[in-house]
Chain A
């Protein structure tokens, strides 16, 4: 079936450096993508989203890039801080589910910021 996957399960980055978390998706009909951050003992927290008609979207210290040709999504975090340490999930909503909001999650990438 369709799924969202991640290239790397773990990533360690020096504090102050930039980090890039990658995600591959297999459903070419996907309409909408979201990055969530999940800290230990907490639920997923919305970071940034992007629709399939966009290639790039920026937020505060974060940028999401979408490459529909190779079905690849990435999350860039600038000037990482200790509070950025968490598991990051990408999730997708296929266009067929518009209005029904069924999220399909990947396994996640654990980001560790080294002081």
Chain B
């Protein structure tokens, strides 16, 4: 039973560029959440997708957007990258009707030069 998978594992971009990160949820899960984890900090909630819609959003600017596909996989897009966007981006999946908890992938390490 595959867990949450994320790609790529590492990514290096420069300021002003755009990036797309991908996530496949754990089998049987229909809800995907994205988190940003700065070095030495706990993960911060970005947004959550269910039924291909953004259901809840954290305190992140509109430069952060996402999408969920019919197969429940998801993408996180970040435009106009800033140095402060350097972080580990984590995807978590859960089943809205099947109970908690959220299961996390190993993340994408994004470095902005």
Chain A residues within 8 Å of B104, by CB:
36, 43-45
Name B's interface SS. Answer: strand
Q: Which of A34, A49, A97, A103 has the most CB of B within 10 A?
A: A103
Q: List, in ascending order, chain A residues with CB within 8 A of B56's CB.
A: 97, 100, 102
B42 contact from A41, A46, A105, Cβ within 8 A: A105
CB-contact partner of B101 in A41, A46, A100, under 8 A:
A46
Q: Which residues of B contact A101 (CB under 8 A)?
A: 31, 33, 48, 94, 96, 100, 102
A105–B104 Cα gap in the complex (Å)?
13
In the complex, how many residues of chain B place their beta carbon closer than 8 angstroms to a beta carbon of chain A? 26
B43 touches A44 (CB 8 A): yes
Which of B42, B55, B56 counts the most A-chain CB atoms under 10 A from its CB?
B42
Q: How far is the CB of B31 from chain A (nearest CB, A)?
A: 6
Contact B101 A34 (CB under 8 A): yes
A25 within 8 A of B: no
Q: Could you list which residues of chain B lie within 8 angstroms of chain A, going by C-beta atoms? A: 4, 31, 33, 35, 40-45, 48, 55-56, 58, 90, 92, 94, 96, 100-107
Rank and list the top 4 A-B pairs by shortest CB-CB distance, nearest first: A105-B42, A43-B104, A43-B106, A44-B104
